[in-house]
Amino acid sequence: MASRSQMDSLAPALAADKAAALRLTPVSRETEARLDAYVELLLQWQAKTNLVAPSTLPQLWTRHIADSLQLAALAPTARTWLDIGSGGGFPGVVLACVLAERGGTVLLVERIAKKAAFLREALRVSGGAGQVILADIGDCVDSLPQPLDCITARAVAPLHQLIGFAEPLLRPGAKALFLKGQDVDAELTEAARYWKLQPRLHASLTGGQGWIVEIDRIERLEQSASASVAPKSAATGSVGTGE
């Protein structure tokens, strides 16, 4: 975990990285101010709680903020979002900052109490439009407000498991946007064992080997009905923000 002096030493790198990130994913001044407040809080909490991998801090804006912001452009009319395993707030809090202007909201599902507390504080200080649900996604699917317009997740679980949670929530006209890494082809191959779908892949604007898997129709393969979703403990950890 980073100390205060280490955080101060990051300031020049963060300023340059912020400029690069906002060139990739421009936002309004109001949204930028919300994101600034969120980043400041995250850096304060990072000194005592591991919200993101320390090695990614110099690229916090491009690696995490812009990576999350790009989802908003893929669902510009979506108003009610669900973020599974929000962890340190990616993409949930970032999207909440955007949706505060759009008139939408994000439901952030997080099973770890400490991280849920951080998410609530992040929404408060940033003015983001969202609500934190402290629960395992497998325990709250049936009680989530309906309808949802967009479902997101970032490095929380294998794709076929995420699809299992999204399937009962994905009404006609809604979509899922899942942030994935270099193993996306293998995950799609595995998902095809359980689900019939026609995903669209978008290369991440932030470069590297990141991808966004867009899904708007899901059909369960009958022979996989009992094997499509892994045990909750394996499927809903908040590991995404630590990468």
Binding-site entries for S-adenosyl-L-methionine: 85, 90, 154
Q: Which H or E run contains 5?
A: helix 4-9
- Binding-site residues, in ranges, read 85, 90, 154
Residues facing 133 on adjacent strands: 109
Cis peptide before 145 (omega within 30 of 0): no
Q: Which H or E run contains 23?
A: helix 11-24
Quick one: how far is CA 52 from the chain centroid?
13
Dihedral sign (CA 129, 240, 183, 233): negative
What is 176-200 written as a DSSP string? EEEEE-TTHHHHHHHHTTTEEE--E
